Structure 1
């Protein structure tokens, strides 16, 4: 497929934070990356507003291991005014590697960018960006978990769990629907129940997810000549045309 890329991503640490555990100021990682986290990594490789990346499948290569670290954070409450910081426990995944298959489709919510709907163009740029390690910094879940990407054939990979027929992970966050990508134009959050089979997780498409919760209603922003300025106009505004 011209609109598809395959790559591996690896890092010393990863933190795909479970939102339930963050209520008390601590972070605990899911055992596997979320769909949205992998989508964010793919968008860091290459992204344009005229396309949407879809994650097809991921292979969990290494054994799932965690490591807890004590982190000093800003004071969470006002009970002790002399105390300037709190000690929180962050649970990271360590020594992670994932093999990913992703493809892009054109964003039909942005008909104003229809002139940019060129499969050959975006495919070529995405593969060049992947070969160079991505256009932006790669991180796995949180900013402190720096990662790296490289092209990799998905069919060549092996998993620590390749001999385990099925492994369940319960209900977890699938991803977020942003107004410019969702069908209803709202800001939604999706939940799924992923199943790993022989080390591979096949993700459902966002529109096929049944458990969806509305976070907030938004109006999609339209980009046209009347609501943005070019670089020269902005420069003249700031520096007075000098």
Structure 2
């Protein structure tokens, strides 16, 4: 199904680090070969996001050759001010085309008056043209990224002629409490895992609820918006979030 509010953009940067969350606790980090669903969703949320909507990443196209580079890093300890020498494995010369769309967040009925599809779609496209509302990072803060509009599928990609490439079991993303889609994901953080396959340079993403493996990470409360909560105090007066 092709949604009417689709956005297409290109994101690129000198380096990227798309690591499994368990590797982010400390020590040495090693990137996946391709960006995760959660990373691309985070990039798009940095471009434009409102609690009224949920972004869904439909597909990513890998434009440049997958290459890695190992760097010596001196991360600071979590429990004191000392540091150690660690080796981080980054992707280099990253460039991707992304197609995504948004749907209304049914967990937020208090924001129903803000469900103006044309408004959010036009703002999102303008923000992509402007390079995003917030800084763009390719997986981690030291990997600065940039975005610009594109037509998904245009231009030559390095893997256009590669029929199929599988990446094995891979982290997909996290469903937070405010984006719950079932009773099992309500009031919880739920991680999803899947088996991505790249076909002619394109990875088509499953929706979070369609992933074959799920893991409940813990309890989580959903933040409620409204004038009586102190969040978006003008919500009732203006009838929408601006």
Question: TM over 0.5, yes or no?
Answer: yes
Conservation of the 8 A alpha-carbon contact between 1:2 and 1:119: no
Larger Rg: 1
Which residue pairs with 1:206 in the alignment? 208
CA 1:128–1:199 in structure 2 vs 1: closer, same or farther (change >3 Å)? same
CA 1:170–1:135 in structure 2 vs 1: closer, same or farther (change >3 Å)? same
Conservation of the 8 A alpha-carbon contact between 1:41 and 1:138: yes
CA 1:163–1:230 in structure 2 vs 1: closer, same or farther (change >3 Å)? closer
Residue 45 of structure 1: how far off its partner (Å) = 1.0
What 5-or-longer segments of structure 1 have no aligned partner?
A: 232-242
Within 2, Cα distance between the matches of 1:40 and 1:77?
Answer: 28
SS in structure 1 at match of 2:136: coil
Which residue pairs with 2:142 in the alignment? 144
**1:35-94 CA distance string (max 9 Å, x none):** 00000111111111001000000000100000000001224799xxxx932100011000
Which residue pairs with 2:239 in the alignment? none
Which residue pairs with 1:161 in the alignment? 159
Give TM-score, length-normalised by structure 2. Answer: 0.88
Which residue pairs with 1:51 in the alignment? 53
Large movers: runs of 4+ above 4 Å: 20-24, 75-78
Which residue pairs with 1:134 in the alignment? 132
CA 1:121–1:171 in structure 2 vs 1: closer, same or farther (change >3 Å)? same
Conservation of the 8 A alpha-carbon contact between 2:225 and 2:232: no
Within 1, Cα distance between the matches of 2:111 and 2:219?
Answer: 24
Which residue pairs with 1:197 in the alignment? 199
Conservation of the 8 A alpha-carbon contact between 1:59 and 1:201: yes
What 5-or-longer segments of structure 2 have no aligned partner?
A: 234-242
Residue 138 of structure 1: how far off its partner (Å) = 0.7
Within 2, Cα distance between the matches of 1:60 and 1:228?
Answer: 43
Root-mean-square deviation (CA, aligned residues, Å) is 2.0
Conservation of the 8 A alpha-carbon contact between 1:25 and 1:76: no
Residue 140 of structure 1: how far off its partner (Å) = 0.4
Q: 1:18 pairs with 17, 20, 26, which one?
A: 20
SS in structure 2 at match of 1:37: helix
